[in-house]
């Protein structure tokens, strides 16, 4: 049996029921086969893949909190410190009722390669809780965050592990988490990113994942001799990544016609009115349905369906496995020729294979959405030097980082004879740096 198959079997046996984690490991290792086969003997001797697929540390803890009516609740908290070969663990915290250990492990595993691609010194980690922030008051969110940090603080630090936002965690939550960390430790340090601008946050971090995604799309189009102006774009989600993807796409003259949330999706043939979306989602914390209620001529549909519209470009920005094989086929049939993932692993394995086999341009999340964590690393740099850079400085650095990621991914795919296969390119380029760092540090 090949080394890859042997490790995939062990991962399945050792992580039963963790389907997203198994899916992510299989997708990465399958695409690394040519590299691994060329070094099989050494990698096997060093148990390289076994070490790479086993988190360095998993922390789980109880998160008790009391709601506004005096009722106590208990959630489960997680932090998976996956790989510190190239820097302190870095990755977001997710608050969503679907969160479980397998999901956090898949995200931490992916984060390791993504962070490697940024070219910055950050290792991979991820965390979160099965707490549902929807419908909770600000005070309930605060109490939850304080309780969560009361356990987490002993495992993190500006030079050891630096969490940030992800689904359900934005500026409000980071503020409450930071306040509690400071209270418990007495330290005023860059232990979290995505902080508010008044207490150490970086300009452009809020926009970074979405802006970075569009900078990546720009490189893909330029490389194919195409322009952005006038392209029709379908975006899913209506949170941080979807909103700032839409903003940057519109700035480049593209027309975004869809957004969604977990209840349904909207189709605005005239192009999304982003001020209205921000009002609904960032100010009122409302549902995307309210957009259609406020605007005549906009369609609202319950459930899934964003990928059924006619578009040139599809940018999934909601959650994992939100775009399946049927969606992929429908996109192709409707003329879509480019898909870039704002979310982490939003395309199922079958959908990804279809994109690659049918000749569509496809950029996986670990490359396409790396602008968020890259800008978090820029926030860490600013915190270390006790300085704040201008929006333009950070945005320019972000843009260059995305250009460099595209180059690395493109070149790695070409080097192994898979030109245009950015899944292989991203996995290989991310993997090579982690391997070099792990080898240099011995069997640890």
Ligand X SMILES: NC(=O)C1=CN([C@@H]2O[C@H](COP(=O)(O)OP(=O)(O)OC[C@H]3O[C@@H](n4cnc5c(N)ncnc54)[C@H](OP(=O)(O)O)[C@@H]3O)[C@@H](O)[C@H]2O)C=CC1
Ligand Y SMILES: O=C(O)CCC(=O)C(=O)O
Which residues are known to be catalytic?
Answer: 126
Told to check if 170 binds ligand Y by CB under 6 A, we report no
Q: Is 376 annotated as a binding residue?
A: yes
State the binding partner of 237 from ligand X, ligand Y, none, CB within 5 to 8 A by kind.
ligand X
- Nearest-approach distance from CB 21 to ligand Y, in angstroms: 15
State the binding partner of 167 from ligand X, ligand Y, none, CB within 5 to 8 A by kind.
ligand X
Pairing of strands 123-129, 89-95: parallel
326 to 355, contacts with ligand X by CB under 6 A?
Answer: 342-344
Give 169 or 331: the residue with its C-beta nearer to ligand X: 169
Question: H-helix or E-strand containing 320?
Answer: none
- Nearest-approach distance from CB 300 to ligand Y, in angstroms: 29
> What is the radius of gyration, based on Cα positions, of the chain?
21
Angle subtended by helix axes 391-415 and 205-223, to nearest 10: 40
Among the listed ranges 34-42, 82-90, 315-323, 377-385, the one in contact with ligand X (CB under 6 A) is 315-323
Q: Is 236 annotated as a binding residue?
A: no
State the binding partner of 90 from ligand X, ligand Y, none, CB within 5 to 8 A by kind.
ligand Y
Give 35 or 241: the residue with its C-beta nearer to ligand Y: 241
Told to check if 261 binds ligand X by CB under 6 A, we report yes
Told to check if 266 binds ligand X by CB under 6 A, we report no
Among the listed ranges 24-32, 89-97, 147-155, 323-331, the one in contact with ligand Y (CB under 6 A) is 89-97
Give 291 or 355: the residue with its C-beta nearer to ligand X: 291
Q: How far apart are CA 389 and CA 283, in angstroms?
A: 27
Q: How far apart are CA 403 and CA 218, in angstroms?
A: 9
- Nearest-approach distance from CB 206 to ligand X, in angstroms: 9
Among the listed ranges 18-26, 72-80, 88-96, 431-439, the one in contact with ligand Y (CB under 6 A) is 88-96
Give 43 or 113: the residue with its C-beta nearer to ligand X: 113
Both tokens of 186, joined, read 């007495």
- Nearest-approach distance from CB 20 to ligand Y, in angstroms: 14
State the binding partner of 318 from ligand Y, ligand X, none, CB within 5 to 8 A by kind.
ligand X
- Nearest-approach distance from CB 104 to ligand X, in angstroms: 11
Q: Is 81 annotated as a binding residue?
A: no
Told to check if 376 binds ligand Y by CB under 6 A, we report yes
Instruction: Work out which of 164, 241, 243, 323 binds ligand Y, going by CB under 6 A.
Output: 164
Nearest to 27 by CA among 46, 53, 2, 48: 53
Determine the number of helices (DSSP H) and then strands (DSSP E) in the chain. Answer: 18, 12
Among the listed ranges 82-90, 178-186, 239-247, 248-256, the one in contact with ligand X (CB under 6 A) is 239-247
Told to check if 236 binds ligand Y by CB under 6 A, we report no
Told to check if 116 binds ligand Y by CB under 6 A, we report no
Residue facing ligand X at closest CB distance: 239
Q: How far apart are CA 328 and CA 352, in angstroms?
A: 8
Pairing of strands 313-315, 338-340: parallel
Give 167 or 402: the residue with its C-beta nearer to ligand X: 167
- Nearest-approach distance from CB 209 to ligand Y, in angstroms: 7
Told to check if 91 binds ligand X by CB under 6 A, we report no
Residues comprising the binding site for NAD(+)? 209, 240
| Residues within the interface to ligand X (CB under 6 A) | 96, 98, 165-168, 209, 237-242, 261-263, 317-319, 342-344, 369, 372
| Residues within the interface to ligand Y (CB under 6 A) | 90-92, 111, 114, 164, 166, 193, 344, 369, 372-373, 376
Residues comprising the binding site? 90, 111, 114, 165, 209, 240, 376
């Amino acid at each position: 049996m090949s080394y890859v198959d042997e490790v995939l079997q062990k991962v399945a046996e050792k992580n039963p029921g963790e389907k997203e984690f198994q899916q992510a490991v299989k997708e990465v290792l399958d695409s690394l086969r040519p590299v691994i086969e060329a070094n099989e003997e050494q990698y096997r001797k060093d148990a390289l893949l076994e070490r790479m697929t086993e988190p360095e540390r998993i922390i789980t803890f109880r998160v008790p909190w009391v709601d506004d009516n005096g009722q106590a609740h208990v959630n489960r908290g997680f932090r998976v410190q996956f790989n510190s070969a190239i820097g302190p663990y870095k990755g977001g915290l997710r608050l969503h009722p679907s969160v479980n250990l397998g999901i956090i492990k898949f995200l931490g595993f992916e984060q390791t390669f993504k962070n490697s691609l940024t070219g910055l010194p950050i290792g991979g980690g991820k965390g979160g809780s099965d707490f549902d922030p929807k419908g909770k008051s600000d005070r309930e969110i605060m109490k939850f965050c304080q309780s969560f940090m009361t356990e987490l603080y002993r495992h993190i630090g500006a030079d050891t592990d630096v969490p940030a936002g992800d689904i359900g965690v934005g500026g409000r939550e980071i503020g409450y988490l930071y306040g509690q960390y400071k209270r418990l430790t007495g330290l005023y340090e860059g232990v979290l990113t995505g902080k508010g601008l008044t207490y150490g946050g970086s300009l452009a971090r809020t926009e970074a994942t979405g802006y970075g995604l569009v900078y990546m799309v720009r490189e893909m189009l330029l490389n194919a001799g195409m322009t952005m102006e006038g392209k029709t774009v379908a975006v899913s989600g209506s949170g941080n990544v979807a909103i700032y993807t839409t903003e940057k796409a519109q700035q480049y003259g593209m027309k975004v016609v869809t957004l969604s949330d977990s209840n349904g999706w909207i189709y605005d043939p005239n192009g999304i009115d982003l001020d209205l979306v921000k009002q609904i989602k960032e100010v009122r914390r409302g549902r995307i349905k309210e957009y259609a209620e406020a605007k005549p001529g906009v369609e609202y549909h319950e459930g899934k369906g964003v990928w059924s519209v006619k578009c040139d470009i599809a940018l999934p920005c909601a959650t994992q496995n939100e775009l399946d094989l049927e969606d992929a086929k429908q996109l192709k049939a409707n003329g879509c020729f480019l898909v870039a993932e704002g979310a982490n692993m939003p395309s199922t394995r079958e959908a990804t294979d279809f994109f690659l086999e049918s000749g569509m341009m496809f950029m996986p999340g670990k490359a396409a959405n790396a602008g968020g964590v890259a800008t978090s690393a820029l926030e860490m740099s600013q915190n270390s030097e006790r300085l704040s850079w201008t929006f333009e400085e950070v945005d320019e650095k972000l843009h260059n980082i995305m250009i460099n990621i595209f180059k690395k991914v493109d070149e790695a795919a070409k080097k192994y004879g898979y030109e245009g296969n950015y899944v292989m390119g991203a996995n290989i380029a991310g993997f090579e740096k982690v391997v070099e760092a792990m080898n240099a540090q011995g069997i640890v």
